[in-house]
Amino acid sequence: MNCWEYNKCGRERGGLNAKLHGVCPVWPDHGQQCARVAGTFCGGKVQGTFVMKLLTCMKCDFYQSEHYDKTYSKSKAA
């Protein structure tokens, strides 16, 4: 399951909020590693770089779920 499915944010291409807020930068390839990608829309605002947003992401229900991919690989990191 990807973050946009879990959170029902509507920011995937063709989603309800894509026109208003834009297509999320994790769509379509990084929906299980969204904490690693800058520019995601969480808590009502655009999040910054990985370092700046990590503490917020660690509190996220999706990040804490079994759906988030916490493995690290240089080839996966954005």
Per-residue pLDDT tens over the stretch 2-60: 999 999 999 999 999 999 989 999 999 999 999 999 988 887 788 888 888 888 899 99
Which tokens go with 58?
């660690």
Q: Which of 27, 20, 29, 25 shows the shortest CA–CA distance to 38?
A: 25
| Model pLDDT for residues 49-78, shown as the tens digit of each residue | 888 888 889 999 999 999 999 987 554 444
Cβ–Cβ < 8 Å for 32, 67: yes
Amino acid (one-letter) located at 46: V
Task: Please choose, from the candidates 42, 28, 34, 43, the residue with its C-alpha nearest in 3D space to the C-alpha of residue 69.
Answer: 34
Q: What angle do CA 20, 62, 14 make, to 5 degrees?
A: 30
Structure tokens at 1: 């399951």
pLDDT of the residue at 34: 94
Read off the tokens for 6: 């879990």
